[in-house]
Amino acid sequence: MFRFHLARNLRTAVWLLLLALIPLGAGILTRSRLLDQGGEAAVEAFREGRQADAAALHTVERWREELVAEDEALTRWMAQYPDTDLQHLRTLIRNARRTDHGAHPSERHSRAWRELFKAIRDRLNAATRADGEVH
């Protein structure tokens, strides 16, 4: 069997595509044989990636809720991410507070809430990339 050197995400996507396209009991390359040859690892890697994405999303949402709800959260944020543009973040928080008006979280779809979410997500992603780099 040929072994291609593909990026992990691409290799996972190919395995999942093959699993979806090959019906049970189909010809020479059966689903069980495909699973025996690394498909299970691909499926597990896909699940782990989705769980990590969900955890990152929840972290961003938690920070956004805390920053809008309490002023002390901004102090904690700045202690953890000191190179954040404080003026811009304060403006985003203030705008989100103006549009909040006690709305239920499912009703918070204003532009201010989205912009705050994007700013937090971008900063956390930058921190994650910086942590992953070899110095």
Per-residue pLDDT reduced to its tens digit, 19-59: 665 554 455 555 555 556 566 666 666 666 677 778 888 99
All structural domains of the chain, each given as residue ranges with its CATH number in brackets, are: 8-51 (no CATH), 55-132 (1.10.60.30)
Report, as an integer, the average pLDDT of 102-130.
82
End-to-end Cα distance, the chain: 38
Structure tokens at 131: 């942590």
The model's pTM is: 0.61
Report, as an integer, the average pLDDT of 55-80.
93
Tell me which of 39-43, 62-66, 84-88 is least confident. Answer: 39-43
In 22-110, alpha helices (H): 31-34, 40-69, 72-80, 86-100
C-alpha–C-alpha distance, residues 12 and 31, integer Å: 15
Tell me which of 8-12, 86-90, 92-96, 108-112 is least confident. Answer: 8-12
C-alpha–C-alpha distance, residues 93 and 98, integer Å: 9
